[in-house]
Amino acid sequence: MSKSLQDTLAELGLELPAPVGPLGSYQTVVASGDQLFVSGLGPFKDGKPVTGRVGDDLSLVDAQQAARLTMLMILACVQQACGLEKIERCLRLTVYVRAKKSFIDHPKVANGASDILLSLFGPDRLPARSAIGVHTLPMGIPVEIDSIFQLKR
């Protein structure tokens, strides 16, 4: 019997946070056919949003940790919506990085999130991904990620 995603997360020493709800007029997670669309989410630690601008008050390592925290929040919201056992894989990530103008390592920040998916699904099932630098994000968070997951059939 194959290991569950929950078991793999536990083996990695990763714990899902309490899922956040919508901060406006939208749904956090929406299912359509065999796909699950997750709204843009950010990093939370101890129930509070992580804030900062990459390259100013946050290092690359800090930003990668923020991306990891964001992926854990995404997985927590997926768990709440339908259960991780129903997930086949992640198909797509769009990673927005709030960084100073001269910062160019957006893909390295995004790896913080992608590396969790690598551990959960393996290298052949990594998602397509974009990493985009932005001037501002809600609540002053350094990373926001929206995602699409494939549900098991």
Question: Domain holding 39: CATH number?
Answer: 3.30.1330.40
Q: What are the strands, taking DSSP E only, across 17-139?
A: 29-32, 35-41, 44-45, 48-49, 87-98, 128-134
| φ/ψ of residue 58, rounded to 5 | -125, 135
**How much is the pLDDT for 122?**
95
Average pLDDT of the residues of the chain: 96
Q: Which residues of 46-74 are buried (b: 16+ CB within 10 A; e: fewer)?
A: eeebbbbbbbeebeeebbbbbbbbbbbbb
Whether residue 114 is predicted with pLDDT greater than 70 in this model: the reply is yes
Asked whether residue 43 is assigned to any structural domain, the reply reads yes
**Total number of domains constituting the chain:** 1
Asked whether residue 25 is assigned to any structural domain, the reply reads no
Asked whether residue 126 is assigned to any structural domain, the reply reads yes
Mean pLDDT score, 109-123 = 97
DSSP letter assigned to residue 140: G
**How much is the pLDDT for 2?**
66
pLDDT, tens only, 52-86: 999 999 999 999 999 999 999 999 999 999 999 99
Per the CB < 8 A criterion, the answer to whether 22 and 28 are in contact is yes
**Does the pTM exceed 0.75?**
yes
pLDDT over 70 percentage in the chain: 99
Asked whether residue 140 is assigned to any structural domain, the reply reads yes
Asked whether residue 72 is assigned to any structural domain, the reply reads yes
**How much is the pLDDT for 3?**
79
Cross-strand pairs, 69:
none
The residue segments making up the domain with residue 52 are 5-20+30-151
Mean pLDDT score, 114-128 = 97
